[in-house]
Chain A
Amino acid sequence: GNSVTQMEGPVTLSEEAFLTINCTYTATGYPSLFWYVQYPGEGLQLLLKATKADDKGSNKGFEATYRKETTSFHLEKGSVQVSDSAVYFCALSLSGSARQLTFGSGTQLTVLP
């Protein structure tokens, strides 16, 4: 079956530190990959996505590269801000399927001033 594994949190960083949140996946076929962010008490917002191998998704200083050889989609940001504190979810969906996203368990990020 399909699954997504994220590094366990919580992650606590100081402002301006470098961020990496690891994400690996297992899928039958060639999935699209997503990072969503959830701020406290809110729904999920799409942060970035990549639809094929070697694609790089980027938004708001965050980046992730679709690595087929390592089945990974790690999220990175060079300099985090306090406002980046949130829960980050990695997810996949399979080509041609409108059925569902498969989510990782989420990683809580706290950035301290």
Chain B
Amino acid sequence: DGGITQSPKYLFRKEGQNVTLSCEQNLNHDAMYWYRQDPGQGLRLIYYSQIVNDFQKGDIAEGYSVSREKKESFPLTVTSAQKNPTAFYLCASSIPRGGTDTQYFGPGTRLTVL
């Protein structure tokens, strides 16, 4: 079955540590995205990538980094520079196609900083 996988589902980190969240898709989608969700709020875009080896900052990129070495993979690193990293992180992918950029989401990773 095609889909988007994120791992791990739950992640705990000590302050000052970097941590990397995995996102893999086998949908053959060109574009991938990372969003952050805080309680009672909508999703905010962290980074996005339209093609391999290229990515752009979203609205809240500070304290995060990404790479896109393969079409299927778009890992997100939460660095120690991110002041409030505890949140639910969602990865998505899409085929940019005219005006109907439907995005499909993974199950999410809940990060807690201890």
Which residues on A are within 8 Å of B, measured CB to CB? 4, 30, 32, 34, 36, 41-46, 49, 51, 89, 93-101, 103-106
Establish whether residues A99 and B105, one from each chain, have CB atoms under 8 Å apart when the complex forms.
no
Contact A96/B99 with A43-B90, A105-B40 known, Cβ cut-off 8 Å = yes
Which residues of the partner chain A approach B4 to less than 8 Å between Cβ atoms? 43
Most chain B beta-carbon neighbours within 10 Å: one of A4, A44, A51: A44
Establish whether residues A49 and B108, one from each chain, have CB atoms under 8 Å apart when the complex forms.
no
Which residues of the partner chain A approach B103 to less than 8 Å between Cβ atoms? 46, 93, 101
Establish whether residues A42 and B33, one from each chain, have CB atoms under 8 Å apart when the complex forms.
no
- Report whether over half of chain A's contact residues are helix, strand or loop; otherwise say mixed: loop
Which residues of the partner chain A approach B98 to less than 8 Å between Cβ atoms? 95-96
Which residues of the partner chain B approach A93 to less than 8 Å between Cβ atoms? 99, 101, 103
Shortest beta-carbon contacts, A-B, top 6: A98-B96, A95-B99, A103-B42, A43-B105, A44-B105, A43-B107
Which residues of the partner chain A approach B6 to less than 8 Å between Cβ atoms? 43
Most chain B beta-carbon neighbours within 10 Å: one of A34, A42, A43: A43
CA distance A100 to B59 in the complex (A): 10
B95 nearest in chain A by CB position? A98
CA distance A36 to B94 in the complex (A): 15
Not counting A93-B103, A103-B44, A105-B40, a sample of 15 additional A-B residue pairs whose C-beta atoms are within 8 angstroms of each other reads: A32-B100, A36-B105, A42-B108, A43-B6, A44-B92, A97-B101, A98-B48, A98-B96, A99-B48, A101-B43, A101-B45, A103-B43, A105-B41, A105-B42, A106-B42
Which residues of the partner chain A approach B40 to less than 8 Å between Cβ atoms? 105-106
A33 to chain B, nearest CB (A): 11
Which residues of the partner chain A approach B104 to less than 8 Å between Cβ atoms? 46
